[in-house]
Amino acid sequence: MLPGLTKSAINKLGERLARDDVPSDEDLRLLEQVRNAFDAAMEGVQTVLRERLHLKPNARLKTVTTLVEKLKRSKSRLSTVQDIAGLRVVQAMTLVEQDALVSRIAACFSGAQVVDRRAKPSQGYRAVHVLVQFEGLAAEIQVRTTDQHMWAQAMEQFADDVGRGVRNQGAAAIVGDDAQSELHRHFFALMQRASAVFASFECVEAVHAALRAIGNSETDLALALADVVQTAGQRVGNDMAKIRLETAALQRANESLKMVKP
């Protein structure tokens, strides 16, 4: 719980942060009280993951800039924002292993909620989030495969260039009809396709791993499945090769426009 601050006071603070162009020193210090409480909860969650599951999650409090953006964008009340405290676990793993890891994490926290953003990607973003409570305060644990993570980081970088609205509103957030805006839209579309191709690739990889685990490649079923996996893998490989070529072409075009920083 939050010592010394009522829910109403916290929500009023959120309203001021969303309304004012520049937060006052006083509001930043008030927000710090809220964030200190979340920091303690976040440290608690981090300790649970390290000691019980031997994971090495990174943790951070939502920055003032991103928190204010969220309050402005979603009209959320500050007291209900779920990801003020955020932790991240990134591992090279298949989708099946990701599911297993998510289950182990969720089992550590009573009432944990799993949000599978692979099933319903938002502007191409894929990951699994586990929402937990620690001593009455919310924390969000992002569980990503290496590929999901690399995609998300590339999109974050792109959003730094074109404006962070693109992460939530998609191409609609890229305004302008100049050559650079057009390239940005192409790039965004390419990232959406890359996300879909990675989703396919991860499915193929998971089936492939399952087949290896069965270790019975002599049965008709296993042979048939291996054939399907190989065909699907080739298709995904071809899709990725096309995206690579298009990205290279976009990057060449960008050199003059300086869209992508060296």
For Cα atoms 95, 119, 163, give the angle at the middle one, nearest 5 degrees: 105
How far is it, in rounded angstroms, from Cα 158 to Cα 147? 17
Beta carbon of residue 191, minimum distance to another protein (angstroms, whole number) = 9
Beta carbon of residue 244, minimum distance to another protein (angstroms, whole number) = 5
Q: Quick one: 56 or 220, whose CB is closer to another protein? A: 56
Q: Quick one: 125 or 158, whose CB is closer to another protein? A: 158
How far is it, in rounded angstroms, from Cα 118 to Cα 127? 5
Q: Say how many CA atoms lie within 13 Å of 213 toward its Cβ.
A: 9
Q: Retrieve residue 104's tokens.
A: 């182990």
Beta carbon of residue 204, minimum distance to another protein (angstroms, whole number) = 9
Q: Quick one: 92 or 119, whose CB is closer to another protein? A: 92
Q: Quick one: 97 or 110, whose CB is closer to another protein? A: 97
Dihedral angle of Cα 147, 149, 152, 158, to the nearest 10 degrees = -90
Q: Quick one: 32 or 227, whose CB is closer to another protein? A: 32
How far is it, in rounded angstroms, from Cα 195 to Cα 197? 5
* C-alpha radius of gyration, the chain, whole number: 22
Tokens 């990701």 sit at which residue? 98
Strand 85-91 versus strand 137-145 pairing type: parallel
Q: Quick one: 8 or 260, whose CB is closer to another protein? A: 260
Beta carbon of residue 31, minimum distance to another protein (angstroms, whole number) = 9
Beta carbon of residue 58, minimum distance to another protein (angstroms, whole number) = 4
How far is it, in rounded angstroms, from Cα 191 to Cα 227? 29
Which residues make beta-bridge pairs with 137? Answer: 134
Q: Are 68 and 22 in contact (CB under 8 A)?
A: no
Beta carbon of residue 6, minimum distance to another protein (angstroms, whole number) = 22
Which residues make beta-bridge pairs with 143? Answer: 89, 128
Q: Identify the H or E element spanning 142.
A: strand 137-145
Beta carbon of residue 251, minimum distance to another protein (angstroms, whole number) = 7
Q: Quick one: 8 or 50, whose CB is closer to another protein? A: 50
Chain residues binding another protein by CB under 8 A are: 22-23, 25, 28-29, 32, 35-36, 39, 42-43, 46, 56, 58-61, 63-66, 88, 90, 147, 149-151, 153-154, 156-158, 160-161, 164, 194, 201, 233-234, 236-237, 240-241, 243-244, 247, 251, 260-262
